[in-house]
């Protein structure tokens, strides 16, 4: 399989990302950028992450060269810090912009056919008061065989019968992300982003269980709030806003669930 072409990516993305690097192996691209001194919108790709991370402290592992895996470092202004809750949604939308036929499970799992997880996104922040840094990490499964995928509900472009040039795909996603990030800068842009997210969110209208920090919540996913929160219609009445948590779509026909 062809390695990511760092020169081609740097040339293509130079107007929106001042530093683009490709590493053969790192522990975690998120950790590398958070602990470094790179400029705003630095990008780090890794052909292999030995300590890749998913949400809730889970590992994110894949064979070397089988993914498009990268992180972007952002240095938000004071005003931009008010809208960091929309950042994971913007990143998820960017991946669906670049990969036709995909949807989103709130907040930012990228799905094929509303079920199989193709990509995951993890946002992390550090020192928001003195030296604000936020990283957005993206991992897209590209060439894995089904036997190489970590869980039954995961998939890859190859497993879906879709071949992709990883360098071209990486450039497509980052160009789409730059456009989505620009939307965060204005009220109209944020409204447009939320409306686009609603259209691609497979969670809306579903009965869901959310493993939230305050405990498990169940209801119908009714809407996305202006700050990116998930609004649930509770079976006991009323609405509840969820700002973080792992969502399970409930399959009512068989009683089975998936995550």
At 249 the pLDDT is: 84
At 52 the pLDDT is: 62
Q: What percent of the chain has pLDDT over 70?
A: 92
Which of 17-31, 51-65, 105-119, 124-138 is least confident?
51-65
Residue 90 has pLDDT above 80, yes or no: yes
At 58 the pLDDT is: 60
| Interval 75-95 mean pLDDT | 92
Residues 6+ apart with CB under 8 A from 9: 20, 22, 43, 45, 167, 170, 171, 174
| Domain residue spans of the chain | 6-199, 206-249
Are 139 and 67 in contact by the 8 Å Cβ rule? The answer is yes
At 137 the pLDDT is: 96
At 145 the pLDDT is: 92
| Interval 157-175 mean pLDDT | 96
Domain 206-249 listed as CATH 2.30.30.100: yes
For 6, 196, 248, the CA distances from 109, given in Å and listed in that order, are: 26, 15, 11
State how far the Cα of 254 lies from the Cα of 199, in Å rounded to an integer: 27
* 256: confidence class by pLDDT, cuts 50, 70, 90: very low
Residue 258 has pLDDT above 50, yes or no: no
At 245 the pLDDT is: 78
How does pLDDT run across 96-151, given as a tens digit for each residue?
999 999 999 999 899 999 899 999 999 999 888 888 899 999 999 999 999 888 88
At 106 the pLDDT is: 93
Whether omega for the bond prior to residue 107 falls within 30 degrees of 0, making it cis, is: yes
* 53: confidence class by pLDDT, cuts 50, 70, 90: low
The CATH number assigned to the domain with range 6-199 reads 3.30.930.10
At 55 the pLDDT is: 55
Q: Across all residues in the chain, what is the average pLDDT?
A: 90
Whether pTM > 0.85 for this model: the answer is yes
Residue 211 has pLDDT above 90, yes or no: no
At 210 the pLDDT is: 86
CA 195, 67, 249, 107 dihedral sign is: negative
At 257 the pLDDT is: 43
State how far the Cα of 233 lies from the Cα of 238, in Å rounded to an integer: 6
At 70 the pLDDT is: 97
State how far the Cα of 46 lies from the Cα of 68, in Å rounded to an integer: 8
């Amino acid at each position: 399989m062809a390695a990511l072409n760092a020169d081609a990516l740097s040339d293509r993305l130079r107007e929106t990302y001042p530093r683009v690097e490709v590493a053969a192996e790192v522990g975690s691209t998120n950790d590398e950028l958070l602990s470094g001194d790179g400029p705003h919108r630095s990008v780090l790709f890794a052909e292999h992450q030995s300590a890749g991370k998913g949400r809730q402290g889970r590992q994110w592992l894949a064979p070397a060269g089988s993914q498009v895996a990268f992180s972007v470092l952002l240095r938000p202004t004071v005003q931009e810090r008010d809208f960091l809750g929309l950042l994971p949604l913007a990143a998820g939308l960017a991946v669906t912009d670049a990969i036709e036929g995909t949807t989103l499970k709130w907040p930012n799992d990228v799905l094929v056919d509303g079920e199989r997880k193709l990509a995951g996104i993890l946002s992390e922040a550090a020192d928001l008061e003195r030296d604000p840094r936020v990283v957005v990490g993206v991992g897209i499964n590209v060439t894995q065989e089904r036997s190489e995928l970590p869980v039954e509900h995961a998939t890859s472009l190859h497993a879906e019968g879709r071949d992709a040039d990883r360098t071209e795909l990486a450039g497509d996603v980052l160009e789409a992300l730059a456009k989505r990030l620009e939307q965060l800068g204005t009220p109209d842009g944020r409204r447009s982003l939320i409306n686009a997210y609603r259209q691609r969110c497979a969670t809306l209208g579903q009965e869901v269980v959310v493993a939230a920090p305050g405990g498990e919540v169940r209801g119908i996913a009714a809407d996305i709030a202006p700050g990116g929160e998930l609004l649930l219609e509770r079976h006991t009445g009323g609405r509840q806003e969820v700002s973080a948590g792992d969502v399970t779509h409930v399959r009512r026909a068989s009683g089975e669930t998936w995550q």
